[in-house]
């Protein structure tokens, strides 16, 4: 969690491996089964708005309360977060709880370690989790953030889910998926895109892949993510997270 203006949006991401500086300065908030929807709103409103010279100093504000009852908006933010590049969850750092599909949906060769996200989406969480209460990040009001009913999605979010499912299926058709079935979105991108070594010696993921099928799949996903971002953006302003 970094900075409250648009120019600091790239400092907002999801990870299971915090840096020593993040830990020391408490530049983070923990994501739990009770606040995952709210935290995805936090990331999505920051990433759905592109920084420009006109808005990069605009400050994020405490929103009005109406966003809390807009389940379509919250669910859009959930899907946007799952498939955004700032979702840096990796199975290399621990159990990956962010797989939005079941093994059957993606023809997985082995069983996943965690079914949290697919159960969350399908409304299959245990009742005790479904009635848990967490503190609202924005208003400090207590709200129920997990529901035992299946989530419903807008056409834009559904299109992203469908594109993501095809990407996961293609990954699970690869030999590596037999030994690494718990791959996250970041892991899948890393597998197909590989890395390059920077002058500093640090490894960075390549922006492109030599696999034409993967390139087609990720291009489709990114196009649909742009449409989903366009559906989120007006509500960022309507609910007062940002002001024009």
Inform me whether the pLDDT recorded for 56 exceeds 60: yes
- Digit-coded pLDDT (tens) for 60-96: 999 999 999 999 999 999 999 999 999 999 999 999 9
Ramachandran class of 3: left when φ > 0, alpha when ψ lies in -120 to 50, beta otherwise? left
- Digit-coded pLDDT (tens) for 213-236: 999 999 999 999 999 999 999 999
38 or 148, higher pLDDT: 38
Q: Where are the domains of the chain?
A: 6-238
56 or 205, higher pLDDT: 205
Dihedral sign of CA atoms 104, 105, 110, 112 in order: negative
Inform me whether the pLDDT recorded for 123 exceeds 60: yes
Taking the model in full, what pTM does it have?
0.89
Give residue 11's pLDDT band: very low, low, confident or very high (50, 70, 90).
confident
Task: Read off the pLDDT of each residue in 157-172 and give the average, rounded to a whole number.
Answer: 98
Tell me the C-alpha distance between 146 and 34, whole Å.
Answer: 6
Tell me the C-alpha distance between 165 and 102, whole Å.
Answer: 10
- Digit-coded pLDDT (tens) for 87-108: 999 999 999 999 999 999 999 9
Inform me whether the pLDDT recorded for 145 exceeds 70: no
The torsion angle over the Cα atoms of residues 54, 43, 222 and 194, rounded to 10 degrees, is 110
DSSP-assigned letters across all residues of 61-90: -PPPGGGGG-HHHHHHHHHHHHTSTTB---
Token duo for residue 227: 């449409």
Inform me whether the pLDDT recorded for 57 exceeds 80: yes
Inform me whether the pLDDT recorded for 147 exceeds 70: no
Per-residue pLDDT, 203: 87
Percent of the chain's residues with pLDDT above 70? 90
The H or E element that residue 204 is part of is strand 203-205
223 or 57, higher pLDDT: 223
Strand, coil or helix: 134:
strand
């Amino acid at each position: 969690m970094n900075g409250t203006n648009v120019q600091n949006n790239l400092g907002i991401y999801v990870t299971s491996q915090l840096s020593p500086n993040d830990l020391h300065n408490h530049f983070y908030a923990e994501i739990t089964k009770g606040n995952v929807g709210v935290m995805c709103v936090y990331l999505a409103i920051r990433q759905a708005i592109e920084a420009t010279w006109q808005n990069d100093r605009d400050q994020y504000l405490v929103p009005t309360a109406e966003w809390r009852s807009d389940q379509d908006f919250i669910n859009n933010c959930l899907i946007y977060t799952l498939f955004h590049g700032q979702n840096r969850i990796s199975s290399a750092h621990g159990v990956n709880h962010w797989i939005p599909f079941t093994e059957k949906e993606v023809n997985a060769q082995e069983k996943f370690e965690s079914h949290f996200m697919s159960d969350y989406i399908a409304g299959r969480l245990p009742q005790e989790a479904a009635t848990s209460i967490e503190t609202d990040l924005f208003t400090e009001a207590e709200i129920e953030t997990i529901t035992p009913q299946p989530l419903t999605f807008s056409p834009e979010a559904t299109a992203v889910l469908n594109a993501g499912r095809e990407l996961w299926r293609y990954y699970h058709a690869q030999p590596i998926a037999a030994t690494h079935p718990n791959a996250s979105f970041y892991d899948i991108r890393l597998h197909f895109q590989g890395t390059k070594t920077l002058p500093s010696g640090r490894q960075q993921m390549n922006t492109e892949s030599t696999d034409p099928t993967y390139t087609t799949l990720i291009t489709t996903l990114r196009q649909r993510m742009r449409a989903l971002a366009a559906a989120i953006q007006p509500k960022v302003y309507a609910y007062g997270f940002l002001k024009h």
